[in-house]
Amino acid sequence: MSYVAPVREMLFTMKEIGGLDAVLAQPGHEEVTPDLVETILEEAGKFAAEVLAPLNQPGDRQGNRWDAGAVHTADGFKEAYASFCETGWNGMPASVDFGGQGMPTLLSTAVLEMWKSANMAFSLCQMLTLGAVEAIVHHGSEALKARYLPPMVEGRWTGTMNLTEPQAGSDLAALRAKAVREGDHYRISGTKIFITWGEHDMAENIVHLVLARLPDAPPGVKGISLFLVPKYLVGDDGRLGDRNDLTCASIEHKMGIRASATAVMSFGEGPGAIGYLLGEENQGLACMFTMMNHARLNVGLEGVAISERAYQQARGYALERVQGRTLVGDATIAGHPDVRRMLMDMKARTEAQRALAYFAAGWMDRAHGHPEAGPRRQAQSLVDLLIPVVKGWCTEGAQLVTATGVQVHGGMGFIEETGAAQHQRDARITTIYEGTTGIQANDLIGRKLARDGGTAMKGLLAQMRADANAVGHESDALLVDLHASLQRGVQALDEATDGLLGQAPREAAAAAVPYLWLAGTVIGGWLLTRAAVAATAQLDSGSDGEDFLAAKRVTALHFALHVMPHAAAWRDGVLRGAASTLGLTADQL
Amino acid sequence: MSYVAPVREMLFTMKEIGGLDAVLAQPGHEEVTPDLVETILEEAGKFAAEVLAPLNQPGDRQGNRWDAGAVHTADGFKEAYASFCETGWNGMPASVDFGGQGMPTLLSTAVLEMWKSANMAFSLCQMLTLGAVEAIVHHGSEALKARYLPPMVEGRWTGTMNLTEPQAGSDLAALRAKAVREGDHYRISGTKIFITWGEHDMAENIVHLVLARLPDAPPGVKGISLFLVPKYLVGDDGRLGDRNDLTCASIEHKMGIRASATAVMSFGEGPGAIGYLLGEENQGLACMFTMMNHARLNVGLEGVAISERAYQQARGYALERVQGRTLVGDATIAGHPDVRRMLMDMKARTEAQRALAYFAAGWMDRAHGHPEAGPRRQAQSLVDLLIPVVKGWCTEGAQLVTATGVQVHGGMGFIEETGAAQHQRDARITTIYEGTTGIQANDLIGRKLARDGGTAMKGLLAQMRADANAVGHESDALLVDLHASLQRGVQALDEATDGLLGQAPREAAAAAVPYLWLAGTVIGGWLLTRAAVAATAQLDSGSDGEDFLAAKRVTALHFALHVMPHAAAWRDGVLRGAASTLGLTADQL
């Protein structure tokens, strides 16, 4: 099933939810006109549909081939990547200082969504490279920046993130990789696992960012440093020199994203891999944190993107397949009320996820680029609160949406040729990497909620309650339903927030994930309500696209009637659930 | 990760929920003592753990090999199947008249659960064979019974079910396979797809049951007949003769259950495959219906079984893996409150599913074997009501449980070597085959609810309400919580039932699946409450196994606090949800 970028929906969400006008009015985006935004989305949509999407299923089937340390990517990937870089897509979100186009995060988010919908495995290479670029921009010396950033932005060199070790996954304190000082550089050794695009044949060089420990480092996370460790050493003239002392020991056999090699990397089997410090010694975790919001937004976005792709696939099948006597007019299975229910569920969840992700992206732009410090700080505190919800809730939602996508296909969904199963398999990693849902939820209730006594969340709740109680829509029965549903949702989140703030750490930790689901559901429903109000205003003013705008209203209603009512159930689980969650001994499990 | 049959839990559920004592007191089970039941479970558990479970992952990896119409099963399957038949497990549930042991359905259900937990792909071969045996017992001539049943019960020959065609999946009315009369037999031609164990190398013969249409048959489902079509023709002396005119054209590349070949079967490329009528001409669908309750119970049981296996795998990992500073005492990740939450969710859902499946199985035994006609009829009407809930709810629950199982493993869950991903992939088919969840839900609200004006459901609701309002537990805070939760659940199901009965067909069809989830949740929570009450009584009387019994109580509480509260949300969706579900035109999707 082909992919068509939902440009209209993206533009609507960028404008009405993401605050596109406000973002473009900020200094530095003078040349980014609304017309340019639309042109970029359309061109990116073409590239995604024509070049990346056709490689998605063949890439899954063929996977990567490891051969004596080299990794051969699936047919067509090398050429697609070359074309991706040539046309400038790779560096688009990066700063103009190093060859990028400095586009707002809100716009690059929409474009990234397209790459991820079209070919999630492929998209990871750029995502990791841009993450490494961000780290080097913030923490690299001028010399490192000058030497590494231009080819990385261009895409001739790619980047990776080497965090995990067999005994150190979510717990980076357990990390053992070693770094030893040697003149102006360090010698790195150790084994890293789960390194996405850790080795491949699409680029001239691979720039590994590696977390490791100095011999005299303090224990735990306060003793971790971040190093830049290139596959090939780079001369002063920027030319590639000797191979560094690192190899790809093997690649994993995974449930999904099979076209992206997940490498076991071995550093320093010889004299030690040469690495260069980023940031200060023992400040590696802080360096990682500067990238974290973008990285987590982008993985949350994968939830949106794979949900969109699964929805398009299911909708396409449902509108073609004829089976049985239908009740809703259509001759195809889309005329069966339960198939319609599944499609509406997928559509409503996908649009709520997108609204949440773009909302956060728009506030990231303001946190970064608003001309005044006060609004920047306020925006940043909202972003910090939202990020774990974006990452956790959009990816958890993608599990449901992609599973439902398989279900719409009936027996054909279980057959790999159909393509629906791949979306579910690909989506499976998104609740795990870049911090599991549990990690996101602990971040939400700890650093983002308890640390400020709930101030940021209470501010958001006040904003949502004001919207829920807004007057002026009483003659519109659908909007009345939306607002009533939102009021109940906000109430549930408010009560759960108060309850959580009063709980002991272990009770709160037991409630963290249900609280995250609750928060995502209420914020998602709020933003869909905003979208429906905006669509109503556009309909009233006679805007183009009546079908699209009317659908926005009904889609919001679907979320309000079918998803939002679960908010009360999660509240109950948050308030009282620890009694059973923590009620058994390990032996009783 | 190895599998250990949960014999204690099974026995408890058979006795306290399935009504084992009442079942064994029925005529015909005089020799089945409680001791024998326990011995059978223990022996089956050993076979499952020692022979079948070790082949599960290798079978998934290797899959089947198709070669010019022959299908070669994965290494070890042939030998395991031979041993399975030799030890008498294959025919255990079948009638003693044809070489089986005539065990009650309640007992064979527990044993089948073990085969399915240990190796779901393997278990399907026996399941299909027993289904075919049941059809032949009910609808075959004496000659066909005498010739086919003994070797099928023994397992030397296996059985299949040939229903689906490319254009006829859920809608059997669209079926095109042809049957032409020729003396005492028929000539069958046509293509059938999705034929589980349709071709393989483990048995001497394969007995296909095939739905086809006579030339003068009425259109639609009233013109379908059922035929027995053997791979090798069978002489009067029972010896195998010529190959019949049927071939396996190809096998599918599937998301899961990869060790079981899913065949495309081609009948009658030559003179037509020789087939023998089962039942009457044009009564094929009615013949299928006689098998349907068992078949659907058994697929519902797959939900239980794969949930159990995923739970054991996740528990095992969580109790071994050390990562991070924990809050609940254990040094392993089981000491993280959110990991504990995931394990409790898996455990509570799995036990609720098992309670529901065994409850239905126990009533099937009474519908079949109660000495009086009145109780038989009453039992049958309860079974008819329950079956779509067992099939739909246990398999939908397995999607959640197996996905959570992957999540507990973090990054390792996404790596196929770990084994957790296979359980999720294997579980994926269970909500689809033997009637999708949508088909089950339509059966529930149509044939099982609307047709009798809700009488059977109201009877069940009265029983549940009586339990929820039972007095005598007021000094036990946990039981008070359970009963309060159950009261709210019963109220929600009652209101949804009334609402649904008043809805127009398309609105009701739009609400059918949420209604099924609601019904499963409330009935499941009810049965766990019963289990907790029974466990409390056993604790009070000083029975063995205090840990197990105390855990039963806490597990029921977990369901009551975390799952049951969603009942109200589904009720809301049932009562008002069609407005959005059916609110868009196909163009607006």
Q: How many CB atoms lie within 10 A of CB A32?
A: 19
pLDDT at B330: 82
- The whole-number pLDDT of residue B85 equals 97
pLDDT of residue B1: 64
What percent helix, strand, coil does chain B show, rounded to 5? 60, 15, 25
A66 SS3 class: strand
Helix (H) or strand (E) holding A72: strand A70-72
**Cβ separation B428–A416 shorter than 8 A:** no
A65: closest CA of chain B, how far (Å): 16
Total structural domains within chain B: 1
- How far does A543 lie from chain B, in Å, by closest CA? 16
- Judged by CB atoms closer than 8 Å, whether chains meet at A255 and B341 is answered as no
The pLDDT tens digits of the residues spanning B507-518 come to 999 999 999 999
Cα B29 to Cα B54: distance, rounded to the nearest angstrom: 34
Work out the average pLDDT over B168-178: 93
CA A334 to chain centre: 30
Residue A499 lies in a domain: yes
Give the Å distances, CA to CA, from B55 to B304, B419, B423. 20, 12, 14
Point out the residue among B415, B509, B579 whose CB comes nearest to the CB of A327. B509
Range of the domain at B488: 437-581
Q: What is the pLDDT of residue A41?
A: 98
Which of A337, A548, A573 faces B562 most closely, judged by CB atoms?
Answer: A573
The DSSP bridge partners found for residue B228 are B209, B276
Whether residue A368 is contained in a domain is answered as no
Residue of A nearest to B580 (CA): A558
Residue B54 inside a domain? The answer is no
pLDDT tens-digit map of A73-124: 999 999 999 999 999 999 999 989 999 999 999 999 999 999 999 999 999 9
Does residue A60 form part of some domain?
no
Q: What is the mean pLDDT of chain B?
A: 97
What ranges make up the beta strands (E) of B273-374? 273-278
B258-285 confidence digits (pLDDT tens): 999 999 999 999 999 999 999 999 999 9
Q: What digits encode the pLDDT tens for the residues B450-460? A: 999 999 999 99
CB contact under 8 A, B583 and A437: no
First to last CA, chain B: 44
In A, minimum Cα distance to B324 occurs at A171
Per-residue pLDDT at A390: 98
Distance CA B60, CA B77 (A): 11
Q: How far apart are CA A202 and CA A125, in angstroms?
A: 10
Q: Tell me the average pLDDT across B241-250.
A: 98
Low-confidence ranges of chain A (pLDDT < 50): none
Three-state secondary structure call for residue A71: strand
State the pLDDT at residue B301: 98
Going by the DSSP 8-state scheme, the letter that residue B53 receives in this structure is: G
Within a domain: A569: yes
* Chain A with chain B: Cβ pairs closer than 8 A: 285
Runs of H (alpha helix) within B48-96: 56-62, 77-86
pLDDT of residue B436: 97
Residue A402 lies in a domain: no
Chain B residues touching A438 at Cβ < 8 A: 336, 338-339, 342, 407
A513 closest CB neighbour out of B341, B548, B569: B341
With contacts defined as CB-CB under 8 Å, which chain A residues touch B166? none
The residue of chain B with its CA nearest to that of A172 is: B324
Task: Say if CB B293 and CB B384 are below 8 A apart.
Answer: yes
CB A434, CB A264: distance < 8 Å:
no
Report how far residue B449's alpha carbon sits from residue B499's, in angstroms, rounded to the nearest whole number: 12
Q: Please identify which of the residues A165, A351, A434, A507 carries the catalytic annotation.
A: A434
Q: What is the pLDDT of residues B321-357, one digit of tens each?
A: 999 999 988 899 999 999 999 999 999 999 999 999 9
ipTM for the complex? Answer: 0.97
Neighbouring CB atoms inside 10 A of A450's CB total 15
pLDDT given for residue A1 in this prediction: 64
Which site among A251, A414, A426, A559 would you substitute to test the B interface, given the most B Cβ atoms closer than 10 Å to its Cβ?
A: A414
| Side chain identity at residue A175, one-letter code | L
Cβ contact, residue pair B336, A550, below 8 Å: no
Mutate to test the interface with A, among B341, B418, B547 (most CBs of A within 10 A): B341
For residue A561, the chain B residues in CB contact (below 8 A) are 572-573, 576-577, 579-580
- B203 φ/ψ angles, rounded to the nearest 5 degrees: -130, 160
Per DSSP, the three-state class of A186 is strand
A588/B580 Cβ within 8 A: no
Q: What pLDDT is recorded for position A289? A: 86
Distances (CA, A) of A82 to A5, A86, A113, A168: 22, 6, 20, 35
- Quote the tokens at residue A53: 């999407």
In a domain, B130, yes or no: no
Query: Cβ of A572: how many Cβ atoms within 10 Å?
Result: 22
Whether B502 maps to a domain, the answer reads yes
Q: How far apart are CA A218 and CA A284, in angstroms?
A: 12
3-state helix vs strand vs coil in chain A, percent to 5: 60, 10, 25
Note the pLDDT of residue B328.
87
- Burial class of residue A210, CB neighbours in 10 A (0-12, 13-18, 19+): buried
**Whole-number pLDDT of residue B130:** 96
User: Under an 8 A CB cutoff, do B561 and A572 touch?
Assistant: yes
The pLDDT of residue B255: 98
pLDDT tens column, B416-439: 999 999 999 999 999 999 999 999
* Interchain pair B557, A438: CB under 8 A: no
